[in-house]
Chains A and B, each alone.
Chain A
C-alpha cells in the first residue's frame, strides 16, 4: 500500500464529509464516507494495514462526531475484519461488490451505534439508520468504482 496517497484520499473524503454533509443529508440520512474509505482499503490492502487504517479513520470520525471516542473506531475495525474475510470470494471490480460491501460494513457500524445508544442513550432511529446504510451503499458505488479503476495510484500491483 502506498501510504501517502491513501492518507491523502482519507483526508479528502473526511474533509468533504465534514464540510458538505449538511447539503446532501436527506431526511436525516447521510452517507458515511469514512466507511467507504475503509471499504476501499479493505478491498485492496493487506489485513494488518486495513485494520490499522480502519482504526485510524474510526478514531478521526469519533473526533469529528459527538459520539464517545472509540465507537466508530470499533465499528470500522469490525467492518474491516468482516470484509477482509469476504473479499476473497467476490469480484472486487464489480459495482455490486462495492454496493454490498458498503451496505454490510455500514450495517455493522450501525449495530455498534445502536448498542451504544441502548446503553447510554439516545437510541438512534433504526429506520433512519438503515436508510443511511442504503445511502452509503449508493455513494459507495459512485466513489468506489472509479477508485478501483485507479487503484494503481494507491496500491502496488501484484
Chain B
C-alpha cells in the first residue's frame, strides 16, 4: 500500500516505459472481444449520414460522377491496350524510351516527327510494338525526325524469312525458313521490296510464300533487335529483268506513318 501511494502520488513517472506492452498479455481475450463488439456495434448502428444537400444537387453530382467514371474507364482501357502492345516487345522494352509522334513528314517522304526527347540521337533505331520503324535521321532540342524503313532513301536492311506457326497452346511462334539473308529496300507507300533478293530455286526450296514474315537479321542494329519483324510478304513473283530471281514485296504489320507513339532504342544498347 505504501509503495502504491509513493508510486502513484510522489513518483508518478516510475516504471511506465517498461510496462508499455502489458496489454499484449490480454490479447487472447481482448482481440476476440474487440471483434465481437465491433460486429455487434456494426449491426446495431445504422450508418445513415445526414447530408444537408438538396436531392437535385446530389442527383446532378451523381450524373457528373458517372460521366467522369465512364471517361476514366475509357482512358484506363486505352492505357491497358497500350501496355499490352508494349508487352509484346518483351525484354527489349527495358532498352526503349517512349516518344510521342508529333506528325508525319510535310512532303511525300516516309518520315515521322517526334516530340522533343533527350533520349533521341541521330542513328538510333526506332521500333514499335509490332516491329521495326526506322532510324532517327536528325535530332535536336525541338524534336527528332525518324526516317521510316519504308522510305526510299532509308538504308537497306538485312532480313531473313520465317513463318508464323500456331502452337498447341494457341500462340504463334516464328519458325525460320532456310533462306539466305536478303536486303530489303524502302519502296514508299508503306512497302519494302527485295528485288532479285533470292533465287527462284531457293525461294521454292524454302517454301517462301505470301504471308511469311521478314525479320531483322542485320549486324548494324543492336543485338536485342535481332528477330524483330520488319514486314509481311504481300507478293512474291519472278523478276521481270532477271528470271532466275524473285522480287518480294513486304508490308509492315501497321502503317508506320500512322503511329501515335514510337519507342527509341537507347544508345547504351547499341554499344
By a beta-carbon cutoff of 8 Å, the part of chain A in contact with chain B is 11-12, 14-16, 18-20, 22-24, 55, 58, 60, 63-64, 66-71, 73-74, 77, 112, 115-116, 119-120
**How far is A12 from B29 in the complex, measured between Cα atoms in Å?**
6
**B41 touches A (CB below 8 Å):** yes
Check if B33 sits within 8 Å of A69, measured CB to CB: no
How far is B12's CA from A14's CA once the two chains are assembled, in angstroms? 23
Partner of B31, one of A19, A24, A67, A71: A19
With A and B bound together, what is the CA distance between A73 and B6 in angstroms?
A: 12
Distance A20 CA – B41 CA, assembled complex (angstroms)? 10
Interface string of B1-19 (1 = CB under 8 A from A): 1011111110111111001
In the complex, which residues of chain B have a beta carbon less than 8 angstroms from the beta carbon of A73? Answer: 4, 8
Q: How far is the CA of A18 from the CA of B22 in the complex (A)?
A: 11
**Residue contact A15 to B28, C-beta cutoff 8 Å:** yes
Main secondary structure of the interface of B (DSSP, over half): helix
Contacts of B31 in A (CB 8 A): 19
| A116 near B9: Cβ-Cβ < 8 Å | yes
Q: How far is the CA of A73 from the CA of B26 in the complex (A)?
A: 18
Alpha-carbon separation in the docked complex, A119 to B7 (Å): 13
CB-CB under 8 A from B16, the residues of chain A are: 66, 68-69
Interface centre among B12, B26, B40 (most CB of A within 10 A): B26
- 4 further A-B contacts with Cβ under 8 Å, apart from A68-B16, A120-B9, are A11-B26, A14-B26, A18-B29, A69-B14
A67 to B11: give the CA distance in the assembly, Å.
11
Chain B residues contacting A20 (CB-CB under 8 Å) are 30, 33-34, 36-37
Determine whether the beta carbon of A68 is less than 8 Å from that of B26.
no
Question: Is B168's beta carbon under 8 Å from chain A?
Answer: no
Q: Which among A16, A60, A68, A115 has the greatest number of chain B C-beta atoms within 10 A? A: A68
Instruction: Decide yes or no: A116 and B8 within 8 Å by CB, A23-B37, A60-B22, A64-B22 being known contacts.
Output: yes
